[in-house]
Amino acid sequence: MTRIALCQIPVSPDPSANLKRATEALARAEGAELAIFPEATLTRYGRRITDLAEPLDGPFVSGLAEAARRHGLAVIAGVFEPGEGRVHNTAVAIDAEGAVRAAYRKIHLFDSFGAKESDLVARGAQPVVVELAGVRVGLITCYDIRFPELARALVDQGAELFAVIAAWGSGPLKEDHWVTLVRARALENTMWTAAVGQAPNPAESSDGFGVGRSMLVDPLGVVRADLGTGPGVRIVEVDHEWTATARATLPCLDHRVL
């Protein structure tokens, strides 16, 4: 068993306020081995991200790392790293000793539904699997969930769990898309999938980011936990023996031809 805290928090434009929220959530996550936060936990999306982006040794990640060490659990969270003209939308992975173990730069940028993330964000290039809390975790960020080839590449790199972080945009049918896609990536790869989105922030609701609906989905696509729309921290359990049982029942990874 691996105990995971789904940390569905609202995000503001102010990194210091978001760090405070995140550290408070980690205090509530004690007893878990891994805490997962949303995409863009550093600061809310907007043109400000180019000014507020921080290196991975900056105050935001350093603060998260210290809290991870203090509470003895690993952390995954979304930040923005400075780049040349544009930033990187990065999922940072921190171990329980407070060391940065990996950084995944989002590959698929959200140039859809009238948005153009690529105006501000430079595309990443490499899928990333990182070992945290004794589990090989494949990192997926928001719009990436629409691309099954990324999830399959993570399987081929030995992932045992998908961690999906998001600042999902609201709109007609968008919440249905989120739930369907998360369940599909879990089912088609017979993979436990922990997906964490931003909670809605009423003070910043005009931009539409954050629908909540953080979930734990099992390897047969069954939703084991759903946080709904409000802020919250929920500790869930991933049963790795159930993965073996599911794959014996549905050996689709063994049946691949292409």
Q: Which residues are catalytic?
A: 39, 106, 142
Q: How far apart are the first and last CA of the chain?
A: 32
Nearest Cα to Cα of residue 189 among 162, 166, 222 = 162
Nearest Cα to Cα of residue 214 among 201, 233, 239 = 233
- The 3-state DSSP class for residue 94 equals strand
Longest dimension (CA), the chain: 50
Which residues are CB-neighbours of 186 under 8 A, at least 6 positions away? 162, 192, 193, 217, 218, 219, 220, 221
Burial, 229: exposed, middle or buried (Cβ in 10 Å; 0-12, 13-18, 19+)? Answer: middle
